[in-house]
Amino acid sequence: MKYGHFDDKNREYVINHYETPLPWINYLGSDSFFALLSNTAGGYAFYKDAKLRRLTRYRYNNLPLDQDGFHIYIKDKNTIWNPGWQPTRTKLDHYECRHGLGYSVITGSKNKVEARQELYVPKNDNILLMRVTLTNKDQKEKELDLFSFVEFCLWDAQDDTTNFQRNYSTGEVEVEGSAIYHKTEFRERRNHYAVFFANREISSFDTSRDQFMGVYGSPASPNAVLKGKCSDTIAHGWQPIGAHHIHVSLKADESYDVIFALAYVEVPENQKFIAPGIINKKPAHELLKKYDTDRKFDKGLRDLKKFWNDLLSGFEVRTASEEVNRMVNIWNAYQCMVTFNMSRSASYYESGIGRGMGFRDSCQDLLGFVHMIPERARERILDIAATQKPDGGAYHQYQPLTKKGNSDIGGGFNDDPLWLIACTDAYIRETGDWDILKEKVDFDNDPKSAKPLLEHLNRSFNYTLNNLGPHKLPLIGRADWNDCLNLNCFSRYPGESFQITGPSEGPVAESVFIAGMFVKYGKAYANILNHLGKSKEAKKVTKAFTDMEKAILKDGWDGKWFLRAYDAFGKKVGSKYNDEGKIFIEPQGMCIMAGVGVKTGEAQKALDSVAERLETKYGIVLQNPAYSTYKLNLGEISSYPPGYKENAGIFCHNNPWIVFAETIMGHGNRAFSLYKKTCPAFLEEISEIHRTEPYVYCQMVAGKDAPTFGEGKNSWLTGTAAWTFTVLTQGILGIQPDYDGLRIDPCIPDHVKEYKVNRLFRGTMYHITVKNPDGSEKGVKKVLLNGKELKSDIIPVTDKKEVNVEIIM
Ligand code: GLC
Ligand code: GLC
């Protein structure tokens, strides 16, 4: 069943049924101020860091689900309702939610009143804007009461949900006209406050939740809304909120609108107060003034749309598949930008408290956004590299606000360092900015230790080499890409971390996956060194990855597929000799992407085994057979019930690795049919099964062993976004940025006759037409540049504004 439809022209997903299988959300904000917003106006806002600077509260596992957010209430005689249905859940006569790029519009109608809620965060300002328009569609005059409501979080989201004995006494607010200031802790060590504003005169307000809701009240029926007015309360401790009330009289066909704004404001340390206890509101006044009229609101929204338009116009495809077009041109690219902003910190499944920026996650995310925001990608690489440890190892995570490595979790995830080579290589291919390698970057954020970025890559590479196990394969440490394959940890008691318990970094357990990575990114590193004229070093690197290739084929090959690992006792994992977990997806994808066994036949055998043992109608499961019991020597992977998460779930992140592998083997039909299986746009019709948003990828789909086979979970913040974008655009459509130009090497279904791509690359717009008259799956016969045939398959960089390219397969 569908709950809405794509509106590609406006780059929107339009939801027509408010009771979606799960909240379907959008992200507002692209610089420092962010808000999550669901199709029923649930969500929360924060400044930069969802843990440390949370503006509004959100309760994740509450029931009913998704009750906190940016709701407005309308009281029309005895009916109270919300245009987004929640939290009153009064049945609406009409409902629509349009999620666009960085904005959403929710419209609801009840009893001939239409309420429209338009929300966005403008570029470059720390403010969430929400315009509410009420229209009387009746022939009679209407007397309406409109209420806004936000519940402030006392800044530190973790502390806010735990330290009640303190926090119930600290809440403070000030009210000035239509502006409600939330100033908790401003008196002491904070120099920031929040303000919730209305650009109209208000009839009444509340800042005490107890008064607005009632101590035993509920968001579905707040006391103030039932009463038809607020009580002008000033909160002293407990739960400070912001609620405006406006009485509106509307004649037939008349409309009324008001702009609400939630802003984050910082004040210079020495100008915090204008009088004892009275906060300095000047910077707030200045900010609010920028958006206090419809004209200014509309201009901000236009600017935002132009920003997205410009960002996305650098990569546009026209193929016969509208699903492919909308993924590349709109939603997959958008999701990549959201992962740039959020890493894995804040979604409807990531609380914003748990994880900051992941080292490997952020490196991989970069593969999907580097072409849109190369400058910010550059900065991101340098930030990540600065958390690398002097021995080449990496902190697994860092906090976005401080940009420092997170020592609670530490390092020892032995794939992490190699991802730094992956993202730096992608960045250089995209931009040609070799100078980034000369940038001095700290180790472990210690300026005394700063070395050029190239040295960081060197240490990443050597970190693997310095940590080889008995089969000369890389030691896995606490885990590799699969955070849940914990071969050294032996976590026995509840509450113990699966990853950082026990000896953790043993000398025996090895990962064939990291071995594949080492070959793949070792090749990239050697290319880089050669390009810099460092051929002696390149030779050493080449020898090292060639040896690794041999080690994989000798001790990492299981006969019909690549082995997954050796455990801490030297026993095989992911082998025909195992009863469960005989074959894993990750080493098949990574080793073939690295080219291992491509010429000698192992790669094809491995892909056949994937098709036979792992492929399902909803994608490829992570391993098979699923683990049926918890196994101390394997760790978290076996803690999940069969079919979920890493225990034989369909992990969307590594499905594109197999798609890539198929393109390397030249199998365009296979590649595309696998691509479609996890692609959300192709799953729209089964939203009641898939449940998560049909416009973005989720991390995981329940596998064939799960009772809820096909059910998606953990949408939005996943490396899937970057990898699927990369595999579709580079592997299938074949547009591959290379060091000295653009290579075009499609691998497509044989029925595709032609497609077009506009690709901005190093300042030149390439208008590319791919023709496939003979119905082949791979292989370029002719490359024409502005009508002239090229000898090389790489289209060189030029200073022309645009060029035409024709590819004949
Ligand atoms: C809190 C603390 C307690 C302390 C008291 C006075 O109740 O739990 O340890 O003595 O405040 O500061
Ligand atoms: C999660 C993590 C990612 C990891 C994957 C597999 O998506 O964010 O870092 O690679 O799970 O365990």
pLDDT at 765: 98
Say what the pLDDT of residue 401 is: 76
Ligand 1 centroid–CA 712 distance in Å is 46
Element housing 464 (H / E): helix 453-465
Clarify whether 93 is annotated catalytic.
no
Is residue 107 within a helix (H) or strand (E), and if so which, with residue range? strand 103-110
The identity of residue 646, as a single letter, is E
Q: Which ligand is nearest to the CA of 166?
A: 1
Q: If you search the block for the tokens 């113990």, which residue do you land on? A: 496
> Using a 6 Å cutoff on CB, does residue 344 contact ligand 2?
yes
Q: Which of 524, 528, 396, 546 is nearest to 465 (CA)?
A: 546
Nearest to 71 by CA among 152, 147, 180, 173: 147
Query: What phi and psi, each to the nearest 5 degrees, are found at residue 336?
Result: -60, -40
Distance 357 CA to ligand 2 centre (A): 12
- Record the pTM: 0.97
Ligand 2 contact, 777 CB (< 6 A): no
pLDDT score, position 305: 98
447: preceding bond cis by omega (within 30 degrees): no
Compute the distance from residue 48 Cα to the ligand 1 centre, in Å.
32
Whether 442 lines ligand 2, by a CB cut-off of 6 Å, is: no
Instruction: Give the number of whichever ligand sits closest to the CA of residue 169.
Output: 1
Please report which ligand is nearest the Cα atom of 163: 1
267-281 CB burial, b ≥16 within 10 A, e <16: beeeebeeeeeebbb
Atom of ligand 2 lying closest to residue 718 CA: 7
pLDDT tens per residue, range 584-638: 999 999 999 999 999 999 999 999 999 999 999 999 999 999 999 999 999 999 9
DSSP 561-579: SB--EE-TTS-EESSTTSS
483 CB near ligand 2 (under 6 Å): yes
Is the beta carbon of 358 within 6 A of some atom in ligand 2? yes
Q: How far is the CA of 170 from the centre of ligand 1 (A)?
A: 15
* 482 within ligand 2 shell (Cβ under 6 A): yes
Q: Is the CB of 486 under 6 A from ligand 2?
A: no
CA of residue 483 to ligand 2 center, whole Å = 6
Which residue of 384, 415, 623, 653 sits with most ligand 2 atoms within 8 Å of its CB, as the best mutation to test the pocket? Answer: 653
CA distance 755 to 770: 5
The residue type of 132 is V
Q: Going by C-beta distance under 8 Å and a sequence separation of 6 or more, which residues neighbour residue 26?
A: 36, 37, 38, 99, 100, 103, 104
Which of 125, 415, 483, 558 is the catalytic position?
483
How far, in Å, CA of 478 to CA of 501, rounded?
9
User: Ligand 1 center to residue 166 CA distance, Å?
Assistant: 9
Question: Which pLDDT score is estimated for 402?
Answer: 82
CA angle 390, 395, 396 (to 5 degrees): 150
**Secondary structure class of 372 (helix, strand, coil):** coil
Q: 732, 663 in Cβ contact below 8 A?
A: yes
Question: Ligand 2: which atom is nearest the Cα of residue 358?
Answer: 9
Proximal ligand: closest to the CA of 339 = 2
Question: Which of 355, 384, 396, 481 for a ligand 2 pocket mutation test, highest count of atoms within 8 Å of Cβ?
Answer: 481
Tell me the ligand closest to 165's alpha carbon: 1
> In terms of Cα–Cα distance, which of 780, 639, 700 is closest to 349?
700
**Are the C-beta atoms of 205 and 216 separated by less than 8 Å?**
no
* Residue in 95, 100, 83 with CA at minimum distance from that of residue 26: 100
Cα distances (Å, whole numbers) of residue 223 to 103, 171, 207, 277: 31, 21, 13, 30
Q: Closest ligand 2 atom to the C-alpha of 719?
A: 7
H/E stretch holding 400 reads: none
At 736, the amino acid letter reads Q
Cβ-contact 285, 196 below 8 angstroms: no
> How far is Cα 386 from Cα 226, in angstroms, rounded to an integer?
55
Helix 453-465 and helix 512-531: axis angle, to 10°? 140
**Beta strand extents in 223-374 (DSSP E only):** 240-250, 255-266, 273-275, 278-279, 315-318, 357-358
Alpha helices by DSSP H, listed for 475-569, are: 512-531, 535-555
Measured between alpha carbons, how far is residue 426 from residues 332, 376, 531 in Å?
18, 14, 15
The three-class DSSP label of residue 79 is: strand
At 429 the three-state DSSP class reads helix
Angle at 626 between CA 621 and CA 628, to 5 degrees: 160
SS3 657: helix
Structure tokens that stand for 579 in this block? 């009863």
What SS3 state is found at 604?
helix
The residues near 645 (Cβ < 8 Å, ≥ 6 apart) are: 484, 651, 700
Q: At what angle do helices 512-531 and 416-431 cross, to 10 degrees?
A: 40
Cβ-in-10-Å burial (0-12, 13-18, 19+) of 190 comes to middle
How far does residue 185's CA lie from ligand 1's centre (Å)? 18
Dist. CA 708 → ligand 2 center (Å): 21
- β-sheet with 572-573: strand ranges across: 510-511, 565-566, 572-573
* Residue 281 CB less than 6 A away from ligand 2: no
For ligand 2, atom 10, the nearest C-alpha belongs to: 481
Contact 258, 199 (CB under 8 A): yes
The protein residue whose alpha carbon is closest to atom 6 in ligand 2 is 482
| Nearest ligand 2 atom to alpha carbon 482 | 12
Are 583 and 624 within 8 A, CB to CB?
yes
Q: Is 686 helix (H, G, I), strand (E, B) or coil?
A: helix
Distance CA 262, CA 150 (A): 9
Q: What is the 3-state secondary structure (H, E, C) of 323-364?
A: HHHHHHHHHHHHHHHHHHHHCCCECCCCECCCCCEEHHHHHH
- Closest Cα to atom 8, ligand 2: which residue? 361
Centre a 10 Å sphere on the Cβ of residue 93 and count the other Cβ atoms it contains.
13
| Extended beta strands in 9-57, E state | 12-15, 25-28, 33-38, 43-47, 54-56
Mutational test site, ligand 2, from 476, 483, 623, max ligand atoms within 8 Å of CB:
483
Ligand 2 centroid vs 653 CA: distance in angstroms?
8
| Ligand 2, atom nearest to 360 Cα | 9
The reported pLDDT for the residue numbered 355 is 75
One-letter amino acid of 457: L
Taking the CA of residue 355 as reference, the ligand 2 atom at the shortest distance is 8
| pLDDT beneath 70: ranges in the chain | none
